[in-house]
Protein backbone atom coordinates (compact mmCIF):
# COMPACT_ATOMS: atom_id res chain seq x y z
CA UNK A 1 0.00 0.00 0.00
CA UNK A 2 1.49 3.41 -0.91
CA UNK A 3 2.75 5.44 2.02
CA UNK A 4 0.43 8.35 1.17
CA UNK A 5 -2.70 6.24 1.56
CA UNK A 6 -5.42 7.89 3.69
CA UNK A 7 -5.55 4.70 5.77
CA UNK A 8 -1.82 4.88 6.53
CA UNK A 9 -2.07 8.54 7.47
CA UNK A 10 -5.08 7.86 9.69
CA UNK A 11 -3.29 4.97 11.36
CA UNK A 12 -0.17 7.05 11.97
CA UNK A 13 -2.35 9.73 13.53
CA UNK A 14 -3.96 7.14 15.81
CA UNK A 15 -0.54 5.94 16.88
CA UNK A 16 0.74 9.42 17.60
CA UNK A 17 -2.38 10.57 19.41
CA UNK A 18 -3.31 7.49 21.43
CA UNK A 19 -0.47 5.01 21.95
CA UNK A 20 0.75 6.54 25.23
CA UNK A 21 -2.70 6.65 26.82
CA UNK A 22 -3.53 3.12 25.63
CA UNK A 23 -0.26 1.84 27.05
CA UNK A 24 -0.89 3.50 30.42
CA UNK A 25 -4.36 1.97 30.67
CA UNK A 26 -3.09 -1.46 29.56
CA UNK A 27 -0.26 -1.33 32.06
CA UNK A 28 -2.56 -0.36 34.92
CA UNK A 29 -4.97 -3.16 33.98
CA UNK A 30 -2.41 -5.97 33.65
CA UNK A 31 0.48 -4.74 35.80
CA UNK A 32 3.24 -5.92 33.49
CA UNK A 33 5.14 -3.66 31.09
CA UNK A 34 5.86 -6.35 28.50
CA UNK A 35 2.30 -7.68 28.53
CA UNK A 36 0.98 -4.11 28.22
CA UNK A 37 3.22 -3.53 25.18
CA UNK A 38 1.94 -6.73 23.57
CA UNK A 39 -1.66 -5.76 24.29
CA UNK A 40 -1.22 -2.31 22.76
CA UNK A 41 0.48 -3.83 19.72
CA UNK A 42 -2.40 -6.30 19.34
CA UNK A 43 -4.84 -3.41 19.75
CA UNK A 44 -3.30 -1.49 16.88
CA UNK A 45 -3.03 -4.64 14.76
CA UNK A 46 -6.76 -5.21 15.27
CA UNK A 47 -7.49 -1.54 14.54
CA UNK A 48 -5.55 -1.77 11.29
CA UNK A 49 -7.27 -4.94 10.12
CA UNK A 50 -10.72 -3.59 10.99
CA UNK A 51 -10.07 0.05 10.00
CA UNK A 52 -12.92 -0.05 7.48
CA UNK A 53 -15.33 -0.75 10.36
CA UNK A 54 -14.36 2.40 12.26
CA UNK A 55 -17.44 4.56 12.78
CA UNK A 56 -16.33 8.18 12.41
CA UNK A 57 -19.21 9.30 14.64
CA UNK A 58 -17.37 7.74 17.61
CA UNK A 59 -14.19 9.12 19.10
CA UNK A 60 -11.02 7.39 17.94
CA UNK A 61 -9.87 6.89 21.52
CA UNK A 62 -13.15 5.25 22.51
CA UNK A 63 -12.95 2.87 19.54
CA UNK A 64 -9.32 2.01 20.28
CA UNK A 65 -10.08 1.62 23.99
CA UNK A 66 -12.87 -0.85 23.15
CA UNK A 67 -10.36 -2.91 21.17
CA UNK A 68 -7.86 -2.63 24.03
CA UNK A 69 -10.42 -3.90 26.54
CA UNK A 70 -11.02 -6.99 24.37
CA UNK A 71 -7.26 -7.59 24.13
CA UNK A 72 -6.96 -7.28 27.94
CA UNK A 73 -9.79 -9.80 28.35
CA UNK A 74 -7.96 -12.13 25.94
CA UNK A 75 -4.81 -11.67 28.01
CA UNK A 76 -6.55 -12.71 31.23
CA UNK A 77 -8.18 -15.73 29.54
CA UNK A 78 -4.81 -16.89 28.18
CA UNK A 79 -3.14 -16.28 31.52
CA UNK A 80 -5.83 -18.20 33.38
CA UNK A 81 -5.46 -21.08 30.91
CA UNK A 82 -1.66 -21.11 31.30
CA UNK A 83 -1.91 -21.09 35.10
CA UNK A 84 -4.42 -23.94 35.23
CA UNK A 85 -2.68 -26.06 32.59
CA UNK A 86 0.95 -25.72 33.75
CA UNK A 87 2.36 -28.43 36.00
CA UNK A 88 2.82 -27.19 39.57
CA UNK A 89 6.61 -27.51 39.44
CA UNK A 90 6.74 -25.18 36.41
CA UNK A 91 4.71 -22.37 37.94
CA UNK A 92 6.96 -19.65 39.36
CA UNK A 93 5.78 -16.66 41.33
CA UNK A 94 5.78 -13.49 39.27
CA UNK A 95 8.24 -10.83 40.25
CA UNK A 96 6.57 -7.48 39.71
CA UNK A 97 8.47 -5.43 37.13
CA UNK A 98 9.53 -1.88 37.73
CA UNK A 99 6.58 0.41 37.12
CA UNK A 100 7.31 2.56 34.05
CA UNK A 101 5.10 5.27 35.52
CA UNK A 102 6.42 4.94 39.05
CA UNK A 103 7.58 8.53 39.09
CA UNK A 104 4.06 9.75 38.30
CA UNK A 105 2.24 8.06 41.17
CA UNK A 106 3.43 7.47 44.68
CA UNK A 107 3.85 3.94 45.92
CA UNK A 108 0.90 4.56 48.22
CA UNK A 109 -1.30 5.59 45.27
CA UNK A 110 -0.24 2.59 43.23
CA UNK A 111 -0.96 0.29 46.13
CA UNK A 112 -4.35 1.93 46.64
CA UNK A 113 -5.21 1.48 42.94
CA UNK A 114 -4.29 -2.19 43.16
CA UNK A 115 -6.69 -2.63 46.11
CA UNK A 116 -9.71 -1.33 44.19
CA UNK A 117 -12.18 -3.90 42.87
CA UNK A 118 -11.65 -4.50 39.14
CA UNK A 119 -14.84 -2.75 37.97
CA UNK A 120 -14.03 0.39 39.97
CA UNK A 121 -10.37 0.41 38.89
CA UNK A 122 -11.20 -0.12 35.21
CA UNK A 123 -13.85 2.61 35.16
CA UNK A 124 -11.60 5.06 36.98
CA UNK A 125 -8.68 4.29 34.66
CA UNK A 126 -10.82 4.74 31.55
CA UNK A 127 -11.91 8.19 32.74
CA UNK A 128 -8.77 9.46 34.44
CA UNK A 129 -5.89 7.74 32.64
CA UNK A 130 -7.69 6.92 29.39
CA UNK A 131 -9.10 10.43 29.23
CA UNK A 132 -12.53 9.24 28.10
CA UNK A 133 -15.63 11.20 28.97
CA UNK A 134 -17.96 9.59 31.47
CA UNK A 135 -20.41 8.93 28.63
CA UNK A 136 -17.70 7.33 26.47
CA UNK A 137 -16.71 5.08 29.38
CA UNK A 138 -20.38 4.15 29.88
CA UNK A 139 -20.84 3.33 26.20
CA UNK A 140 -17.60 1.36 26.11
CA UNK A 141 -18.48 -0.72 29.14
CA UNK A 142 -22.12 -1.12 28.15
CA UNK A 143 -23.35 0.35 31.42
CA UNK A 144 -25.50 3.39 32.26
CA UNK A 145 -23.87 6.79 32.69
CA UNK A 146 -25.02 6.89 36.31
CA UNK A 147 -23.12 3.67 37.01
CA UNK A 148 -19.93 5.20 35.62
CA UNK A 149 -20.41 8.33 37.71
CA UNK A 150 -21.04 6.19 40.78
CA UNK A 151 -18.03 3.93 40.15
CA UNK A 152 -15.69 6.87 39.62
CA UNK A 153 -16.97 8.54 42.77
CA UNK A 154 -16.69 5.35 44.82
CA UNK A 155 -13.22 4.65 43.43
CA UNK A 156 -12.02 8.13 44.35
CA UNK A 157 -13.55 7.77 47.82
CA UNK A 158 -11.86 4.43 48.40
CA UNK A 159 -8.54 5.76 47.11
CA UNK A 160 -8.84 8.63 49.58
CA UNK A 161 -9.58 6.17 52.42
CA UNK A 162 -6.70 3.87 51.46
CA UNK A 163 -4.30 6.78 51.16
CA UNK A 164 -5.32 8.35 54.46
CA UNK A 165 -4.81 4.97 56.13
CA UNK A 166 -1.31 4.77 54.62
CA UNK A 167 1.21 5.38 57.45
CA UNK A 168 3.54 7.60 55.41
CA UNK A 169 0.79 9.77 53.99
CA UNK A 170 -1.05 10.07 57.29
CA UNK A 171 2.13 11.30 58.99
CA UNK A 172 2.78 13.79 56.20
CA UNK A 173 -0.80 15.06 56.40
CA UNK A 174 -0.52 15.55 60.19
CA UNK A 175 2.80 17.31 59.69
CA UNK A 176 1.50 19.95 57.33
CA UNK A 177 -2.12 20.06 58.48
CA UNK A 178 -3.55 19.65 54.98
CA UNK A 179 -6.36 17.30 54.07
CA UNK A 180 -5.98 15.08 51.02
CA UNK A 181 -8.77 16.72 49.09
CA UNK A 182 -7.45 20.24 49.71
CA UNK A 183 -4.01 19.60 48.19
139 pLDDT above the threshold of 50: yes
Q: Is the pTM of this model over 0.75?
A: no
Owning domain of residue 120: 105-183
How sure is the predictor about 38, in pLDDT bands with cuts at 50, 70 and 90?
very high
CATH number at residue 69: 1.10.1740
Q: What is the pLDDT of residues 117-128, one digit of tens each?
A: 989 999 998 898
Where b means 16+ CB within 10 Å and e means fewer, 146-171 reads: ebbbebbebbeebbeebbeebeebee
Residue 83 and residue 136 in one domain: no
Total number of domains constituting the chain: 2
Residue 119 and residue 94 in one domain: no
142 pLDDT above the threshold of 70: yes
Q: What is the pLDDT of residues 59-117, one digit of tens each?
A: 888 889 999 989 988 887 876 655 554 444 433 334 334 444 444 556 677 788 888 99
Q: Which of 33, 68, 102 is the last residue of a domain?
A: 102
144: which residues sit within 8 A by CB, 6+ positions away?
138
Residue 86 and residue 116 in one domain: no
Rounded alpha-carbon distances, angstroms, from residue 124 to 8, 26, 112: 32, 13, 12
Please tell me the distance from the alpha carbon of residue 163 to that of residue 165, in angstroms, as a whole number. 5
Q: Which of 66, 85, 102 is the last residue of a domain?
A: 102
Residue 97 and residue 49 in one domain: yes
55 pLDDT above the threshold of 70: yes
Q: What is the pLDDT of residues 147-161, one digit of tens each?
A: 999 999 999 999 899
Amino acid sequence: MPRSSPHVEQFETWLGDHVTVLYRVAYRLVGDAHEAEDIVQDTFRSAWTSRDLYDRSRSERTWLMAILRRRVADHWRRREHRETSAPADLVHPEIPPADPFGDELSAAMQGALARLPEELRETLLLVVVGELTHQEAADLQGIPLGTVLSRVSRARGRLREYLLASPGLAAAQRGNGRALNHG
